[in-house]
Amino acid sequence: MMNSRVSARNVAYLGISLAILETFKLAFDLLPNIEVTTLLFIVYTIFFGRKTILVAIGFTAVECILKGVNVWSIMYLYIWPLLIIIVFYAARHKAGYLFYCILSGLFGLLFGTFCVIPYLLIGGWSMAVTWWIAGIPYDIIHGVSNFIICLLLFRPLCAVMKRVTEKEPAI
């Protein structure tokens, strides 16, 4: 069972992970729905387990500071923890490389679907469905790019994390 205590070393790892996450998020902001955030959350969860939720909270806070609070802020509060929970349980069941590639792609493809909740609450079904349909082309780009990025970078990132943390995955 994973030790849920957050040591000074863990705080340092999680802080550096947040900095890397935010750096890549900002670097990819110019590209429509192409990101490494999903992949990084997957890899971080494999190595840090439930503690990655702290990175997700920090990430959302930093994004709000840099870009202001908006509807997406609400989405980030449940979308990233949802991914972390899925990966946490998948990793406990020894999910493999291809599973994470498919998960990353599906997560990107369904990202717009996950995001309809605030729009449903704000403007009802018509607003939510209209917003979701308008975003389908971007969700397709998001899903395909997530799958390809995970396919190419998952194993190298896991190898780097293993060397940096000097341990096997936490889960």
Has residue 153 got a pLDDT over 70?
yes
Q: Could you tell me the residue ranges of all domains in the chain?
A: 8-165
Mean pLDDT on 14-41 = 95
For the whole model, what pTM was predicted? Answer: 0.92
Has residue 3 got a pLDDT over 60?
no
pLDDT attached to residue 167 = 77
pLDDT attached to residue 1 = 40
Q: Give percent above pLDDT 70 in the chain.
A: 96
Lowest mean pLDDT among 29-38, 58-67, 114-123, 160-169: 160-169
DSSP secondary structure of the chain: -------HHHHHHHHHHHHHHHHHHHHHTTSTT--SHHHHHHHHHHHHGGGHHHHHHHHHHHHHHHH---HHHHHHHHHHHHHHHHHHHHHHTT--HHHHHHHHHHHHHHHHHHTHHHHHHHHHHHHHHHHHHHTHHHHHHHHHHHHHHHHHHHHHHHHHHHHHHTS----
Mean pLDDT on 122-128 = 94
The third-level CATH classification (topology) of the domain covering 8-165 is Arp2/3 complex 21 kDa subunit ARPC3 (1.10.1760)
The residue type found at 43 is V
pLDDT attached to residue 6 = 73
pLDDT attached to residue 7 = 83
Q: Give percent above pLDDT 90 in the chain.
A: 87
Has residue 4 got a pLDDT over 80?
no
